[in-house]
Amino acid sequence: MRRTLSRSRDRPDNANRGRGRGRPRLHWLVLVVLFGVASSLVSGQDVKPGSQSKPVGREDRERRALREQWFLRGRSSPGQSGAAQRYHAHLQKMRMRAARLARAQKLGNDSSSSSTVIWNPLGPAPLASDASGVGEYDYGWV
């Protein structure tokens, strides 16, 4: 019995068992080095490279103030405010609608017929959804 145990210790596959413990440490070391390299390469949040080392000048402060004022002001257009321009556009739309109805009445057309639209199908005719032919999977016309 002792001879079989001693022979199993002398095998070449058991000779590397003592060295196998160092591998997990090597894996951790490689993982830490890769993480350090990746974290040093990823710096997507920097606006300007080296912005912490440069002092903020007067021009930068003025540009920042102008940018903040522009954001606070919002959209603007020359002349009137946006609400007034929308109101005038709405009035113009209502005047055009009234003129179109008056023109239709003058020509003798009924005002209700101009709003009635007859739809014509553009695509292919609907198909029966039952592909089995037995009526087992019938979902109507599709």
- What pLDDT, in 10s, does the model give residues 61-74? 899 999 998 888 77
Q: Cα separation of 51 and 83, whole Å? A: 42
Are 104 and 114 contacting, i.e. CB atoms less than 8 angstroms apart? yes
Average pLDDT, the chain: 75
DSSP 52: T
CA 51 to chain centre: 30
Q: Is 64 exposed, middle or buried (0-12, 13-18, 19+ CB in 10 A)?
A: exposed
Contacts of 8 (CB under 8 A, 6+ apart): 14
pLDDT at 77: 76
**Based on C-alpha coordinates, what's the Rg of the chain?**
41
Entry pTM = 0.30
At position 120, the amino acid (one-letter code) is N
Share of the chain above pLDDT 70, in %: 68
Q: Cα separation of 123 and 2, whole Å? A: 89
pLDDT at 95: 97
pLDDT beyond 70 at 117 = yes
The band of 78, judged by pLDDT with boundaries at 50, 70 and 90, is confident
Higher pLDDT, 105 or 4: 105
pLDDT beyond 80 at 30 = yes
Share of the chain above pLDDT 90, in %: 18
